[in-house]
Structure 1
Amino acid sequence: MLPDSFRFGVLEKKGNMEVREEKLPHLKEDEVLIKQEACNICTTDYQQWQGKREHQGYPMAGGHECSGLIVAKGAKVSNSLKVRDRVCVIYDYCGDCDSCKKGDITSCRNIQQFGKNYSDQYYGIFGFANYFIRKSKSVVKVSADLPAPEASFVEPLSSVLKGIRKLRIHSGFDTVVVIGGGTMGLLNAAVSQAMGARVIVSERNPKKVEKMKQMDLELIDANITDPVEEVKKRTNGNGADIVIVAVGTSSANDQALNMIKDDGGKILLFAAGYPAPELNVDSNSIHYKQCELIGTYGSSLDDFNNAAKMLSERRIDVSPLIEEEVPLTRIQEAFEKAGTRGNYRVSVLLHS
């Protein structure tokens, strides 16, 4: 029997996650009902819980790194989606604006990414809900045997793929330095390695340093050596071809500018920071070094599909990035753990 109501986590105000219950609406002909199994807590989620992103609005029925099983489908849903398929949720989008027509669905002009798109009362896309109805175009299929917390990495991995595409990595040639060994830093490192680059990760948090040692990554421990000097040393004085800034701080931006090689280096500004970090560079330096400062945000529809494929084929192993699994009934505790410095992804299990 299909449910007629659903339970979901909602951020009522700074520091206060609650579990609420609402009636499920009627399933429309172009929609699917998903039994959402897991939703991982993103930096965007816990930073609002910490009070750093209050511009996103309250009450926030957030969570956007979620996956689950289709349990019902509307009459006009494509045969490519079947009941019992495992899917990962992607953002809703109009499909008609210029951004959507180019595939850049997270830049949709008509549907605000964290707006009140599913409710008149709540912001957000209800990732922390045990059941939810979505447009069939707003999901991508993943392998049936991929655990739900790992399947939930489709969204963050897709955003990494978008940035990596812009870098145009030369396989077997480029040295990529990732500043920051958190979840997104290590995803950037893994994809860069898969693209054939030599990858070095710089990190100072002791817990993250130990994690990278376990993962056998080439590491710079920023507690015991200067990252800029160490990069120059390991590249015969040349500097990195590419630096990916995966932490949102002014000091990381400064390091990146000093790490890149003097001719044609690239910096990918992957992470946002709150308060906004500074970038101290003059245009002459960019001019004479012929360097590229590249911004990236969100994902295209192709990025979502490619991320689902990479995870399903186990070309990227995200299991080491799951810190802990916590049931929905303890979602406040889950956010406390997610916001603890040094922790990786905390996965909220929605049917435990």
Structure 2
Amino acid sequence: YGGGAAGLLMALAALSRDAKPYILEINPDKLKKSKAFRRETGIEDVSNDMQFDVAINAASSIETLTDGISRVKKGGTFCIYSGFTGDSSVSSKLLNEIHYRQLTLIGAYGCKSNQMKEALDILDKYQSQVRLLIEEIINLEQVPEALERVLSGHVFKYVVEFNK
């Protein structure tokens, strides 16, 4: 869930482990923006009622949890990667879905040094595809303005070159 930079990189990590990742993104602009990356990696977007063995949220909307739980196959896993915004409650109906369908709900936060090494290896292996997520190479003085654009959710990534 989530077709921003984090969701696309998460899908790339799944692909590197021979999984078949899909992106579920409700913003058509993000889908359009990620088209070249998805074409190069073979990662497809999904808008139907497809079911998954594992679902991971890389978006802060609570709907990623509620919809995600409904799409996870019996005995499957939902991973909360992104925290949620707002002060939403989780319904007992959703908790019953987890219970009766024997789903696993896990949280992921931070990483260990071996996971960081694996992430760097993935970035190295898929350099040409990852470059498609870089909006612009900027200098240090451009960072405040770039951060505003990043927080708006309309851009993927910037690279800051300190001697530019």
Residue 249 of structure 1: CA displacement? Answer: 1.0
Structure 1: give runs of 5+ residues left out of the alignment: 1-178, 221-226, 233-238
Cα distance change, pair 342–277 in 1 and its aligned pair in 2 (3 A): farther
Correspondence for 2:139 = 327
Contact preservation (8 Å) 1:254, 1:280: no
1:321 shift after superposition: 1.4
Quote how far apart the aligned CAs of 1:201 are: 0.7
The alignment partner of 1:248 has SS state of coil
Of 25, 49, 55, 1:231 maps to 49
The alignment yields a C-alpha RMSD, in angstroms, of: 2.0
Larger radius of gyration: 1
Tell me the alpha carbon deviations over residues 257-310 of structure 1, each in whole angstroms, 9 at most, x when there is no partner: 11111x201101110133355443554322221100010000011111222233
Residue 219 of structure 1: aligned partner: 45
- Is residue 62–residue 85 contact of structure 2 (8 Å, CA) maintained in 1? no
Change in Cα spacing, 1:276 to 1:343, as seen in structure 2 (3 Å) is: farther
- Find the counterpart in structure 1 of residue 15 from structure 2: 193
Aligned to 2:79: 268
Question: 1:299 aligned to 89, 108, 111, which one?
Answer: 111
Q: 1:208 to 1:291 in 2, by over 3 A?
A: same
CA–CA separation in structure 1 for the residues paired with 2:118 and 2:12: 15
What is the CA distance between 1:311 and its match in structure 2?
2.7
Instruction: Select which of 71, 82, 98 maps to 1:259.
Output: 71
1:341 and 2:153 equivalent? yes
What percentage of aligned pairs have identical amino acids? 27
Contact 1:249 1:277 in 2 (8 A): no
Report the Cα distance in structure 2 between the residues aligned to 1:265 and 1:341, rounded to whole angstroms.
30
Structure with the larger helix share: 2
Q: Deviations over 1:11-58 (max 9, x none)?
A: xxxxxxxxxxxxxxxxxxxxxxxxxxxxxxxxxxxxxxxxxxxxxxxx
AA partner of residue 347 (structure 1): V
Per-residue CA deviation, residues 206-256 of structure 1 (Å, 9 max, x unaligned), is 221113322223113xxxxxx4xx133xxxxxx211111110111111110
Aligned residue identity for 1:350: F
**Distance in 2, Cα, partners of 1:281 & 1:246:** 23
Return the alpha-carbon distance in structure 1 between the equivalents of residues 78 and 65 of structure 2: 9
Provide closer, same or farther for how the CA distance between residues 254 and 304 of structure 1 changes in structure 2, counting only shifts above 3 A.
same
Scaled by the length of structure 1, the TM-score of the pair is 0.42
Structure 2: segments with no counterpart, 5+ residues: none
Q: Number of residues paired by the alignment?
A: 158
State the alpha-carbon separation in 2 of the partners of residues 243 and 281 from structure 1.
20
